[in-house]
Amino acid sequence: MNYELRIISYLCTRKRYKSNIFRYMINSQDIKKGTAIRMDGGIWVCIDFQHRKPGKGNTIMIIKVKNVSDGRVLERRFNIGEKLEDVIIERRPYQYLYEDQSGRIFMNQETFEQIPIDNELVIGHEYMKESDIVEVVSDTTDGTILYAEMPVKTVLRVTHSEPGVKGDTATNTLKPATLETGVEVRVPLFINEGDLIQVDTRDGSYLQRVKE
C-alpha cells in the first residue's frame, strides 16, 4: 500500500468531532483490562470483562469499569460490534521526590522531567514516601494526567503503636499503628514500634512483617 492510501485508510478509521479533533473508536469486543474509554462525560478504565451469550440471543460484552476521576466502579453491557470512544493512554514510571505548594513533585524516570501532581490524583498516596516509584497514566491526546498509582504492595516503618505482646503471634487480633507516612493501619498484636511491615496500598491492610 502506498503512502497516500495508508493515510486515507488511517483517516477512514477515525471519526471527526465538529471541532475538527479526531476521536479514536474501538469495538466493544476489543476492550480488555486496562483499556480506557470515554463515556458519560468521563474517562473509565476497564478492570474486568467477559463475553456472554444469553440463550439463543446474540453475544454481548459485559465490562466492569472504574472512573479515573472519582474511583466509581460500574458494570455496563454492550452488543458485539458496538463502537465506543477509545482513549489512548500512556503509562510511565515516575519517582516521588518531595512536596511543595504546587503539590507532590515527581520525576519521569526516562526523561528526568519533574512535574507536580495533586494528591487526589495519586491512588494510595497515604502510603507514599519519598523515592517511591508510581505509575503515571496520561491521555496522549493532550497530555492530561489522569491519575498516578502506587504499587499494590509497599513496605513502611511503624512509628507508633502500643507495645506488642511477647510470644503472641496471632494475626486475627489487631491494634492501631501509625506508619512513617502518618497513616494509621491495623496490625497484629506482636508488631512493635520500629518494625517494618508490608501493607496493601489499595485498602491499607496488613500483609506481613518484613525482616531488615
Q: Which CATH number characterizes residue 133's domain?
A: 2.40.50.140
Q: Which CATH number characterizes residue 74's domain?
A: 2.30.30.30
Give dist(CA 134, CA 119) in Å, integer.
Answer: 13
Q: What is the pTM of this model?
A: 0.69
Q: Answer yes or no: do 93 and 54 share one domain.
A: no
Q: Answer yes or no: do 129 and 81 share one domain.
A: no
Q: Answer yes or no: do 13 and 73 share one domain.
A: yes
3-class SS at 125?
helix
Instruction: Give the rounded percent of residues in the chain with a pLDDT score beyond 90.
Output: 38
- The DSSP-derived string for 17-73 is -TTS-EEEEEEGGG--TT-EEEETTEEEEEEEEEEE--TTS--EEEEEEEETTT--E
Residue 19 has pLDDT above 70, yes or no: no
Residue 23 has pLDDT above 80, yes or no: no
pLDDT digits (tens, 9 = 90+) for 40-66: 888 888 888 888 877 777 888 888 988
Kind and range of the H or E run holding 94: strand 89-100
Which of 91, 97, 132 minimizes the C-alpha distance to 112? 97
pLDDT digits (tens, 9 = 90+) for 106-136: 999 999 999 999 888 888 999 999 999 999 9
Tell me the mean pLDDT in the region 86-92: 86
Length of the chain: 212
Which of 36, 24, 25, 23 minimizes the C-alpha distance to 63? 36
Q: What is the residue range of 176's domain? A: 153-210
